[in-house]
Amino acid sequence: MEKEKFQIEFPINSSKGVLYNCMSTPSGLSEWFCDDVNIKKDVHTFIWDGSEEVARLVTKKKDEYVKFKWLESEEDESDGTYFELRIRVDEMTGERAIIVTDFAEEDDIEDARELWIAQLDNLRRVLGG
């Protein structure tokens, strides 16, 4: 089944440095994204309620974005799926947003969107926004 790319733009009131820290460090990620995260080199094991998902950090740029690839789908490198958390700052207003890029099967996109929005709401709460 082909996965489709989708994006969510989520306004968030925080500095780029703080946001990047929340997206790229074990302590930051475990505040909002998962219960815990273990990192060995570039492989991140995300833990939720006792279940684990493993992703490789594909690329990152300080204060701009992090991009991960779930390892369960790595056997099929051609599928091209990943998830990315990118910080966008509006040049005119200075407003900040996180742009999430992810992939899901067509029937699952709405559920995936809702899950990301819930996670990002957690992040907003952690940051006091």
* pLDDT tens, residue by residue, 69-99: 988 754 555 578 899 999 999 999 999 999 9
Strand order through the sheet with 83-89: 3-11, 96-105, 83-89, 65-70, 51-61, 43-48, 36-40
C-alpha 114/C-alpha 17 separation (Å) is 26
Q: Where are the domains of the chain?
A: 3-126
- Check residue 128 and give its pLDDT: 86
* pLDDT tens, residue by residue, 8-49: 999 999 999 999 999 999 999 999 999 999 999 999 999 999
3-126 architecture in CATH?
Answer: 2-Layer Sandwich (3.30)
- Check residue 1 and give its pLDDT: 74
* Structure token pair of residue 17: 């440095």
Ranges assigned E (strand) in the chain: 3-11, 36-40, 43-48, 51-61, 65-70, 83-89, 96-105
Confidence of residue 66 (pLDDT cuts 50, 70, 90): very high
CA distances from 44 to 25, 55, 93, 95, 125 (A): 10, 5, 35, 30, 24
Q: What is the pTM of this model?
A: 0.91
Q: Which residues contact 2 (CB under 8 A, 6 or more apart)?
A: 105
